[in-house]
Amino acid sequence: MNRYIFYIVTVISLICFSSCQRDDDEPVKALKPISRLYVSTSNYQANTTSPALYNVFVVSPADSNSFEIDPLSRHTSSALGGSAIHFSPYAQSIFQSSMNAPAYRDTSIYVMPVSDKGVISNGNVIGNRRFNNVKGLWYYVHNTPGNTTNITNNYLLMTNLGVDTVSLFIIDQPRNKRGFTRPRYELMLDYRPWSIQMDVDDLLLSRTEDNGGIVVYKNLPAALGRDTVLNIEPTYEFTVTGANNIRGLSYSRDRDVLALTDYSGDAVGSGRILIFENFSQYTGSTTITPTRIITGTNTLLHQPIDVALDTREGEDDALFIYVADAGAQTRSILRFKLSDNGNVEPDQVLEILNNRQTPQSISLDSRGVNR
């Protein structure tokens, strides 16, 4: 009897401990440099009698000369076709949205814990029928100035291209949520966003339309009060003349470099990586011109829809730009050097299962010195 009581007390203690954990864990300190690229693919096997398809792949180390998928880290999430993906070392988790194709209705966000060794496991599922076309995800940790409790505010931000409304949804304490979840905040937008990134407390969104660009909201936490519906206007709007289908956005504060992906037409070479150096010089709404553009038939760029900058300590020719290209003639992960310009060949090309899987989004975990 005493043994059973011990077991019951132990189980209750574990449950209480897990439910009381703070949602503000610091990233696990790596014993050696980390360079992992997480890839979300959209292919889905509807036939339940056939093996489920992997929809999360990991390239590790992403900065190596081999540039290969880690066969032990391929993972099948419950998403009915993977769309946006975001890894946060603070959450120690991957967040993934679904393609939500007409044949496979899926309006959920999938939370997948990642161990310090890079092992992925399925976790909570956050659902809402309004999460029907999520294109960008970002996990944001905000510590209120003067806070001495070590308890922080944690949010999952997502851009959603709804049929009736286009919105930025914000979920608070996302790792504690499961099942049907109402956004804590919503910002309705009059433009079509895609990728999303927080730069300290500033929100950056890519705007995808003719002559699209970047929309910046300075000091987002100042707008997060009691009201659910946010009534804020962009601080800056940067237009890129001649842009057609801006999708991916990645900004490095350390290098002060921003990259966007854009494409037009239906041929290899029609895709572009737009690179803006000294991005912080722009402090008012204006038209901005790329410092460099990677484009041309040698690049293999067809329909680049996501980008990630690796700007750790090192020389530019040893650092990289990663691109997910969903074009039918490419369907690959392309790696370029940070210093590249013009019609250059990729430094590395990775086909996902011999071009049978289509990449939709990437997220880079890059910590420590390069190589």
Here the tokens at position 241 are: 């003349």
Q: Is there a domain that residue 302 lies in?
A: yes
Q: How many domains does the chain have?
A: 1
Q: Residue 361: give the domain boundaries.
A: 34-367
Q: What is the pLDDT of residue 16?
A: 43
Q: What is the pLDDT of residue 12?
A: 45
Q: Is there a domain that residue 220 lies in?
A: yes
- CA angle at 122 for the pair 101 and 100, rounded to the nearest 5°: 10
Q: What is the pLDDT of residue 116?
A: 85
134 beta partners: 160
Q: Is there a domain that residue 28 lies in?
A: no
pTM of the model: 0.90
Q: Is there a domain that residue 29 lies in?
A: no
Q: Is there a domain that residue 15 lies in?
A: no
Q: What is the pLDDT of residue 130?
A: 95
CATH number of the domain within which 170 lies: 2.120.10.30
Q: What is the pLDDT of residue 148?
A: 55
Q: Is there a domain that residue 125 lies in?
A: yes
- CA angle at 352 for the pair 348 and 357, rounded to the nearest 5°: 145
Residues of the chain with pLDDT under 50: 6, 8-24, 371
Q: Is there a domain that residue 216 lies in?
A: yes
Q: Is there a domain that residue 100 lies in?
A: yes
Q: Are 304 and 10 in contact (CB under 8 A)?
A: no
Task: Map the chain to HEC letters.
Answer: CHHHHHHHHHHHHHHHHHHCCCCCCCCCCCCCCEEEEEEEECCCCCCCCCCCCCCEEEECCCCCCCCCECCCCCECCCCCCEEEEEEECCCCEEEEEECCCCCCCCCEEEEEEECCCCCECCCCEEECCCCCCEEEEEEEEECCCCCCCCCCEEEEEEEEECCCCEEEEEEECHHHCCEECCCCEEEEECCCEEEEEEECCEEEEEECCCCCEEEEECCHHHHCCCCCECCCCCCEEEECCCCCCCCCEEEECCCCEEEEEEECCCCCCCEEEEEEECHHHCCCCEECCCCEEEECHHHCCCCEEEEEEECCCCCHHHCEEEEEECCCCCCEEEEEECCCCECCCCCEEEECCCCCCCEEEEEEEEECCCC
Q: What is the pLDDT of residue 193?
A: 97
Q: What is the pLDDT of residue 55?
A: 96
